[in-house]
Structure 1
Amino acid sequence: MQKFIKSMALAAGLLSVSTLSNASLIINGSFEQLTFGDQSSSIGAVHNTELQSFNSKKRGWDVFSSLPGWTTISGSGIELQKNVVTKSQQGTNHVELDSHRRGTSNSVMTQTVNSLTIGHDYLLEFYYKPRTNALNDNGINVYWYNSSLDFDLKMNAMFIADSTRSVTPNWQKQSVHFTATASSMDLSFGSFGRQNTLGGLIDNVSLVDTTVVSEPSMLAILFAPLSFLFFRRRKQQQK
């Protein structure tokens, strides 16, 4: 009986921990991962930098059509930076989406998030830092939409980060709640404002399920057998 009680207590403890340890659903949210799962390579469009070589660089930048987890769906590409402009919020890499080259520098990157629970709420957090002190120059739009839809720049942004260097001199956490309307949703970040290759910076992106599973009902199911055994043993002792 005591062994059974200990097992049930351990199960309850694991259940409690599991509700508190939601891992981020974002792949490569801090842009430190430089190797694709299929071992393919990506070459920068400006300096012809091989993506993996960023690991050995002390500083540098280049514009890539894709990074592990992220793909360009509009504009010049994803500008990966390391120890240029500023230190990263997490690790050594961050991205800018008002990317070289001029003219079509405002870019959009996206990641498809799979295995979502329809109706659940999800918390997106990322760090934002404006690069310049000019108005209409550092904007970042955030889009959240069913992955079966094609991206359109006319879509309404679900969240906007926009500031200037004097107002926001340091990395600042941005938080927004989304609801999953499909099991696969696309999360996109897009630069807006002046297309001058100087824009808002992004780092440390995370997305977690914040919908609370009803623990009382789960614990009731878990402890029902224990209650039955307890009362049966008590009756036997009374005899």
Structure 2
Amino acid sequence: MGLRRALQAMLLAGLAGFGLPAAAATIPIANFSFETGPNGNQPGRTNGIRFNNLGSTAPGWDTYSSLSGWTMGGGGGRVEIQNNLSTTLDARDGSNFISLDGGPGRNSSISQSLTLGVGTYALSFWYSPENWNAATNTISYNLGNVVNGRVTVGTNGAAVGVWTQVYTRFSILTPGSYTLSFAALGAADGVGGFIDDVSLITTVPAPAAGFAALTGLAALWGVKRRKRRAA
């Protein structure tokens, strides 16, 4: 085929390779669905159930003072891990989910540091209120100083017994370490909000070199057409 068609084929092939919507890359979050318990599989603080036995020992939940991949904070000192064996609801991902209200007087927080580059990101997690009282089931979520939010019963239609996705888009302008954290708010009465399946993705732009190459092809095609018209 002639030069025009050859250049056209190359241009279209290049656009197919570089012009598609940007791909999503997952940022690793340790223990994102709370399937890994404390180091040493220690027994729980309330029911004495070892973490690895939550799925086989009633009532299917317990409280723990540490959690793999996360740093514990707040004044509570423990979190509650629920398993599918519990009658509350099934996990959104895997078999476990978490409440940051570890019992009377024990509102807690969890956090971990993530290394992020410049780009556009989306933070997602799933939430379910344990009761209908917004004064006790509210959870805050933060990522450094770029994401700050709260979720409670009614947020995005959140209701007892079902999972509701909380989704936030944001941009990082300065690369570095950012702390992702969740915290229980309101009454510390052992009844709070559940979270599960935490994820973070980033939009990956198409390579600039690829677009430069396509621009060159397009320009060459235009030059060839102008020469043919002049002739």
Pair in the same fold by TM > 0.5: yes
In 2: Cα distance, 1:21 partner to 1:58 partner: 40
Higher strand share: 2
2:129 alignment partner in structure 1? 130
Conserved? CA contact 2:80–2:100, under 8 Å: yes
In 1: Cα distance, 2:130 partner to 2:28 partner: 28
- Give 1:36-55 correspondences, 5 Å limit: 40-43=39-42, 44-54=44-54
**Deviation, structure 1 residue 19:** 4.0
What value does the CA root-mean-square deviation take over the aligned residues? Answer: 3.8
In 1: Cα distance, 2:65 partner to 2:19 partner: 42
**Deviation, structure 1 residue 15:** 6.4
Could you report, residue by residue, the CA deviation over 1:123-151 in whole angstroms, capped at 9, with x for unpaired residues? 111111111122311100012217xxxxx
- Give 1:1-239 correspondences, 5 Å limit: 19-32=22-35, 34=36, 40-43=39-42, 44-54=44-54, 56-57=56-57, 60-74=60-74, 75-83=76-84, 84=86, 85-100=88-103, 102-103=104-105, 105-114=106-115, 116-118=116-118, 120-145=119-144, 158-163=148-153, 168-169=159-160, 170-180=162-172, 181-210=174-203, 212-213=204-205, 215=206, 217-221=208-212
Relative distance call for 1:113 and 1:68 in structure 2 (3 A) is: same
- TM-score of the superposed pair, with normalisation by structure 2: 0.72
- TM-score of the superposed pair, with normalisation by structure 1: 0.70
Conserved? CA contact 1:124–1:175, under 8 Å: yes
Could you report, residue by residue, the CA deviation over 1:70-100 in whole angstroms, capped at 9, with x for unpaired residues? 2211223221101322221222211001112
Q: Which runs of 5+ in 2 are unaligned?
A: 1-8, 222-231
SS of residue matched to 2:209: helix
Q: Which runs of 5+ in 1 are unaligned?
A: 147-155, 231-239
What is the percent sequence identity of the aligned residues?
28
Relative distance call for 1:94 and 1:68 in structure 2 (3 A) is: same
Q: What letter is aligned with 1:143? A: N
In 2: Cα distance, 1:86 partner to 1:185 partner: 32
